[in-house]
Structures are given as C-alpha cells and as structure tokens.
C-alpha cells in the first residue's frame, strides 16, 4: 500500500504540501482539478501542472479523487454519450500523464450526506455526524442551507452551492430512475470506458454511497457486498474496481467490513480507512481512527487489506477537528496526520508478524 492524504489544491486547502510531506510515511497525495464541473474535459496542461506542483513538493500524485460523473450518464438521458466521450478524453489525458487510479461515485443528487458537521464529542473535538431522524425531518432542498453554516468557509466537494441550487431540477431528473436503471446506466458507462482504462492501465475505483442506504427516496446501489459483487461481475474487468471506504460501508452495521474486503480481492484499487462511533444503528458520529474510540476493529480491516495483497493508495479519511484547527470539516491536518501514523503502525505490525510466521 501507499499511504497518502487527500489534498484540495493550493487554492482551496488550508493544509499545505509542505505539511503533508512531514507526516511520517505519507508519500503521496490524492487530488483533483477542483473548479472543473462534471462532464467537462480536463486540460492536459492543468493535469500536468497539478502533478508537477505535487512532485516539486517531494510527493507523488497517487490518484484522482474524483473525476465526477455527469448526471446525464447516471440517469441515462439521450445526451449521455457526449458526456461519456468527454470522460474518456479526460481519462486518456490522465493516462498519458501517468496517472493510474481514478475514484468516482454513482450517487444520485447528493454525494455523501451528513446532518451535522461539528458535533462535539466528550473530548471537546468536533466531528461530522448523521442521524436518520434529522434526514427524515428535512426537506432535501434545504439540505445545503442546513449545514452551510458549519462548512468553515470551505466549498465541500459534492456540496457546491451551484449544484445545490439545482436540487429540485436534479430530483426531477431522477424521478424515473430506480436501482435497476441505475445499475444498467452504470454498466453502460463502464463498458464504454473500459477500453481506455485497458489501454492506459487506469484502475477505476467506485466510491460507496454514504450512508449506505437510500436517502430522500433516491436510489443508492453501491451499499453492500451483494451489490458490489454484482457490479464487479456485470463488467468483469480488473480495471473495474472499488474504493473500499470503511466509513461509508460501515454506516450499515450489517456490512461485515473485513469479509467484504476479502471478497473483493484484487478489485480494491483505493482505500479510505476511518472509524465510526454508533450511538444507535441510525445515529453515528465520526470517531478518531483508533479502534477503541469507535465501533470498528481497525486492526482487522488493515489485516484483511494486507492479506488480500492490497497495493494501491490508502488514506486516512475524515478526521476530527482538534487543537483549535479551522479547516474544511473532516479534512484538517492534525487528526488525519494522527490517523495516517496509526494506520502505518498497524500495517507495520501486521506485516512484521506475517513475515515472522512464514
């Protein structure tokens, strides 16, 4: 595995490449061209400039999170081919720039969904949290306004104000799309992009729906083992793979995370590893990465990744806001740095133990 940190670019991030370079064991960053809209073709020069800026700081651009998929592709509207052609051109340019991992998602309307961005934990840190009760009481059109005040001035990916202003129109677009249609549209998209992925050895890594169930009556399909194995089989190409995000699949306590990792052997191209603390099955908050701070056994998650030969980029995921830091919720420096150090420690111990017993 390669330990990385997500970085939002010098224009948007409060965390600098210089700081990331000083986290022990972090050798790469995961980034994207923020400011591009889904469906747009990425300029080769912009990709190369991003790569160079990261390399000049002594780090590697280990992959892209995300190249977002236009809604026309997700709903399967007649103009989808034009947007898929654009996506293919972007992939070609990424491949030519030597980038081999692309994360994306196929979630309708909303990307990840949280109901609070700064819930206070007993130790005084603040974290992102979710309660189904709050979602059920909310008009989806008000979703953005309800959390905007807690964004610390950041533009959070997936929650861009321009996009949220179109929520009503987006709901209208998806009104005839159910799970089966969404699966079919995903298949169509993947079949069209696989040739360019094969040509440039690009691993596509679909991000799970977060939370891993339907919200506001919208279909959500990347939620559990059965669905994800269906997706792997429906386009059976090693470049069709997943981002294994423990915090997203873990929202559903029925998902056995180490078992899911084992069943996806060879198809996990990117890992997001974080912990959640459940107060009840539909009320959870994001904990520190440490197993004892939350509900998941992080050792077993890392062991499953190790034992299935995971070799892609991995990153600590949302961190708590600690030590007075002000940053994009979930994406400050301090707690993610602690997370990276902890995950590196687990990995070292698992690896040494495994090598000793062979």
Q: Please list every residue from 217 through 276 that binds ligand DNO, using CB under 6 A.
A: 272
245 noted as active-site residue: yes
Q: Which two tokens stand for residue 79?
A: 């103009």
- Closer to ligand DNO by Cβ: residue 65 or 293: 65
Cα separation, 53 vs 209, in Å, equals 31
Buried b (16+ CB within 10 A) or exposed e, 225-243: bebbeebbeebebebbbbb
Cα separation, 177 vs 168, in Å, equals 15
Buried b (16+ CB within 10 A) or exposed e, 150-187: ebbebebbbbeeebbeebeebbebbeebeeebbbebbe
331 noted as active-site residue: yes
* Least separation in angstroms between CB 123 and ligand DNO: 22
Q: Which stretch binds ligand DNO (CB under 6 A): 77-85, 102-110, 173-181, 338-346?
A: 102-110
- Closer to ligand DNO by Cβ: residue 66 or 131: 66
- Closer to ligand DNO by Cβ: residue 76 or 158: 158
130 binds ligand DNO (CB under 6 A): no
197 noted as active-site residue: no
272 noted as active-site residue: yes
104 binds ligand DNO (CB under 6 A): yes
- Closer to ligand DNO by Cβ: residue 244 or 347: 244
- From the candidates 318, 334, 335, 342, give the one annotated as an active-site residue: 318
Cβ contacts of residue 198 below 8 Å, gap of 6+?
237, 239
- From the candidates 71, 111, 210, 317, give the one annotated as an active-site residue: 317
Cα separation, 338 vs 111, in Å, equals 26
- Closer to ligand DNO by Cβ: residue 206 or 261: 206
239 noted as active-site residue: no
- Residue in 4, 31, 66, 255 binding ligand DNO, rule: CB under 6 A: 66
32 binds ligand DNO (CB under 6 A): no
Cα separation, 304 vs 259, in Å, equals 8
SS3 (DSSP) at 242: strand
70 noted as active-site residue: no
- Tell me 333's DSSP state: S
Q: Which stretch binds ligand DNO (CB under 6 A): 37-45, 101-109, 171-179, 191-199?
A: 101-109
**CA distances (Å), origin 121, targets 110, 179, 238, 284:** 26, 36, 41, 12
List contacts with ligand DNO (CB under 6 A). 65-66, 103-105, 111-112, 157-158, 207, 272, 318, 330
Active site residues: 207, 245, 272, 317-318, 331
């Amino acid at each position: 595995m390669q330990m990385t940190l997500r970085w939002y670019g010098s224009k948007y991030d409060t965390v600098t490449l210089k700081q990331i370079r000083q986290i022990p064991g972090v050798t790469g960053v995961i980034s994207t061209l923020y400011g591009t809209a889904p469906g747009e073709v990425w300029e080769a020069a912009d990709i190369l400039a991003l790569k160079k800026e990261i390399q000049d700081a002594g780090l590697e651009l280990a992959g892209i999170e995300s190249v977002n998929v236009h809604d026309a592709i997700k709903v399967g509207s007649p103009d989808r081919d034009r947007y898929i052609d654009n996506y293919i051109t972007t992939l070609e340019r990424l491949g030519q720039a030597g980038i081999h991992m692309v994360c994306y998602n196929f979630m309708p309307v909303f990307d990840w969904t949280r109901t609070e961005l700064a819930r206070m934990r007993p130790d005084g840190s603040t974290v992102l949290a979710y309660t189904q009760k709050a979602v059920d009481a909310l008009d989806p059109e008000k979703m953005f306004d309800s959390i905007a005040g807690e964004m610390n001035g950041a533009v959070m990916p997936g929650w861009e104000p321009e996009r949220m202003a179109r929520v009503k129109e987006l709901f209208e677009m998806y009104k005839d799309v159910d799970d089966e249609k969404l699966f079919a549209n995903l298949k169509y998209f993947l079949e069209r992009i696989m040739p360019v992925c094969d040509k440039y050895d690009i691993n596509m890594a679909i991000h799970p729906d977060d939370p891993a169930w339907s919200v506001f009556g919208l279909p959500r399909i990347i939620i559990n083992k059965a669905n994800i194995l269906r997706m792997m089989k429906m386009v059976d190409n090693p470049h069709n793979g997943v981002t294994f995000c423990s915090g997203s699949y873990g929202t559903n306590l029925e998902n056995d995370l180490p078992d899911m990792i084992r069943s996806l052997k060879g198809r996990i191209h990117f890992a997001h590893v974080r912990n959640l603390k459940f107060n009840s099955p539909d009320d959870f908050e994001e904990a520190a990465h440490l197993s004892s701070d939350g509900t998941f056994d992080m050792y077993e998650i890392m062991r499953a990744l190790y034992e299935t030969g995971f070799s892609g980029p991995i990153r600590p995921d949302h961190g708590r806001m600690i030590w007075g830091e002000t940053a994009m919720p979930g994406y400050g420096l301090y707690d993610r740095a602690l997370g990276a150090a902890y995950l590196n420690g687990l990995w070292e111990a698992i690896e040494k133990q495994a090598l000793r017993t062979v």
